[in-house]
Chains A and B, each alone.
Chain A
């Protein structure tokens, strides 16, 4: 069973059509949840870190939120340059209290048409 599940796998939007991407996770203790953006032919680029339920962070047209079971990446009035694959990753607290390494989801491929 995947510990990090992202949905949908792919999303096609018209420019200006707001929507949300979902990242659900099943780890026993969350140390942090990360959002990355990956453009074709490039490595992932950091967007946000969220640490606790109720936390929100914003950057331009993107807003990330966190609950105890999932995170949403809200995209408001997207533009074609927002087209990319968005990756979610969680870092869990291992037994003994140490931090684990990042567990990534498979990503959501977003296409925004003009």
Chain B
């Protein structure tokens, strides 16, 4: 198993659908993150969880709902998305929340029709 695994790799959904992205880390890390990567834009931090508690929510619309049931798993629940939400969604983990390097998954490429 690779360090950080994301499923699905690709997702196409309509604006009225509900779907979930899954992330699992096998590194024993304590912090997990959701990032959004759009073309021509820097990575945008969406959510941070440390020891399964949300510590950061960067003003993300409520149509994105994160869930962290334990330190190894992270979900991003999606509902009534907009076409501008189409992007690569990356999950990452780190040992702590200090000056720590992030380990990223390969991402879920999301297209909203």
Q: Does A91 contact B (CB under 8 A)?
A: yes
CA distance A107 to B41 in the complex (A): 9
Contact, CB under 8 Å: B102 / A102: yes
Q: B41, A101: Cβ atoms under 8 Å?
A: no
A45-B104 in contact (CB<8A): yes
Whether, in the assembled complex, A105 has its beta carbon less than 8 Å from a beta carbon of chain B, the answer is yes
**Contacts known (A43-B92, A99-B97, A99-B98); A106 close to B42, Cβ less than 8 A:** yes
Query: How many cross-chain pairs have Cβ atoms below 8 Å apart between A and B?
Result: 46
Contact of B101 among A49, A103, A104 (CB under 8 A): A49
Closest to A33 in B: B99
Whether A46 and B56, one on each chain, are in contact in the complex, defined by CB atoms closer than 8 angstroms, is no
Main secondary structure of the interface of A (DSSP, over half): strand
> Size of chain A's interface in residues, with CB distance under 8 A?
24
The reply to whether A46 and B45 contact each other, CB–CB distance below 8 Å, is no
Please pick, from B90, B99, B103, the residue contacting A51 in the complex, using a CB distance under 8 A: B99
- Looking at B40, B48, B104, which has the most chain A CB atoms within 10 Å of its CB? B104
Contact A43 B105 (CB under 8 A): yes
Q: Complex formed: what's the CA distance from A91 to B41 in Å?
A: 18
Interface string of A41-71 (1 = CB under 8 A from B): 1111110010100000000000000000000
Q: Which residues of B contact A46 (CB under 8 A)?
A: 101-103
Q: Is A34 an interface residue (CB 8 A)?
A: yes
Q: Which of A4, A43, A101, A103 contacts B107 (CB 8 A)?
A: A43
Q: Are B99 and A49 in contact (CB under 8 A)?
A: yes
Does A43 lie within 8 Å of B104, measured CB to CB? yes
What is the CA–CA distance of A45 and B4 in the complex, to the nearest angstrom?
A: 11
Of the residues B45, B90, B103, B107, contact of A102 by C-beta under 8 Å: B45
- Nearest B-chain residue to A43, judged by Cβ: B104
Cβ proximity bits B85-113 to A, threshold 8 Å, 1 near / 0 not: 00000101000011101111111000000
Q: Is the CB of A34 within 8 A of B101?
A: yes
Interface of B toward A, CB cutoff 8 Å? 4, 40-43, 45, 48, 56, 90, 92, 97-99, 101-107
Give 6 closest A-B pairs by Cβ, nearest first. A43-B104, A104-B42, A104-B43, A32-B99, A46-B101, A44-B104
